[in-house]
Amino acid sequence: MTAARQALACFALLLIRQAAVAGQEVPPAGAAVPFHPASPTSLLAFSLIVITVVAAFAWGTFVATRRESGDRAAQRATVRFLVALGVWLGLFSGFVGTGLVETRPLPFVPITLVAVNGVALAYAVSSHGARLARHLPLAALVGFQAFRLPLELVLHAWAAQGTIPVSMTWSGSNLDIVTGIAAVVLAPFANRTAVAWVANVIGLVLLANVARVAMLSSPVPFGWPVEPKLLLVAHLPYAYIAPVCVAGALAGHVILTRRLLGAR
């Protein structure tokens, strides 16, 4: 598992470094859509959440593959997963770095959201997703979504700092904190299929609502008249909320659904 740990550690260090730099940024003068950077403390908290989500998938890959094929296969599968994820996040970062999402929200905000969720769905319905569905405990699959509780706390802090609109918090139209709380409360009882279904449906419904609110809070012609506009996907490391947190939550729900349906 040494190579996998090294890969995860490199990703963590890179993300924390990005967060430290972003926390010291000054909003550029004359930007088409103003963006107010978040505090370094909240960025560090966000980075730790992103790292935790990545680590959870890496752990799940290792555990599920070890139960199916042994330790050596599990190590190789975990390294391959982290390398593939690194390549995907590298491509995503390069796309964000072009500035297209910021300068042309339409069509690039919808394209970004469709792309990251499409990748998540492809992963979740693949043989890799099936392996996680077959071999991970129900409590782990339900409890995974608990990361959405601290994430919502970070979003609430960002709204108070003027980084995102209030619509993206529980004070507005985003009630996803309920998913995180439900995951924490229901995970110990998730061996009961009905409980796991309840947690899964709550999370899926609220995740769909998050996507709706995020789109309407963005600087698109049909969006809500909120200020500031939602621009997280146009700036690193904030943009990782899409391919790691949102897409990770979606993949987790699809994998849990496959488990509840018999890991098909």
Distance from C-alpha of 204 to C-alpha of 94, rounded to nearest angstrom: 29
42 or 6, which is more confident: 42
Predicted local confidence at residue 183, as pLDDT: 98
Count Cβ atoms below 10 Å from residue 136 Cβ, excluding itself: 20
227 or 5, which is more confident: 227
Please report where in the chains the tokens 């995503």 appear, as a residue: 92
pTM (predicted TM-score): 0.90
The percentage of residues in the chain with a pLDDT greater than 90, rounded to a whole number, is: 86
Taking the CA atoms of 148, 215, 18 and 123 in sequence, report the sign of the dihedral they define.
positive
Q: Is the pLDDT confidence value at 1 over 90?
A: no
Reply yes or no: is the peptide bond before residue 107 cis, omega within 30 of 0.
yes
Distance from C-alpha of 14 to C-alpha of 140, rounded to nearest angstrom: 27
At 85, list the tokens.
Answer: 């994820």
CB 61 within 8 A of CB 132: yes
Predicted local confidence at residue 29, as pLDDT: 42
Predicted local confidence at residue 23, as pLDDT: 54
Average pLDDT over residues 51-70: 96
- Candidates 108, 89, 94, 90; CA nearest to 32 is 108
**DSSP designation for 60:** H
If you average pLDDT over every residue of the chain, what do you get?
91
Distance from C-alpha of 104 to C-alpha of 33, rounded to nearest angstrom: 10
Per-residue buried b or exposed e for 2-33, using 16+ beta carbons within 10 Å of the residue's own CB: eebeebbeebbeebbebbeebbeeeeeeeeee
What's the Cα-to-Cα distance from 155 to each of 22, 96, 258, rounded to whole Å?
16, 20, 30
**pLDDT tens digits for 153-198?**
999 999 999 999 999 999 999 999 999 999 999 999 999 999 999 9
Count Cβ atoms below 10 Å from residue 40 Cβ, excluding itself: 14
Distance from C-alpha of 263 to C-alpha of 196, rounded to nearest angstrom: 14
Distance from C-alpha of 173 to C-alpha of 211, rounded to nearest angstrom: 11
Distance from C-alpha of 178 to C-alpha of 199, rounded to nearest angstrom: 10
**pLDDT tens digits for 7-41?**
656 656 666 665 555 654 544 444 456 899 999 99
Q: Is the pLDDT confidence value at 244 over 60?
A: yes
Question: Hey, is 171 helix, strand or coil?
Answer: coil
End-to-end Cα, the chain, rounded Å: 29
At 235, list the tokens.
Answer: 């700036």
Predicted local confidence at residue 262, as pLDDT: 87
Average pLDDT over residues 65-77: 95
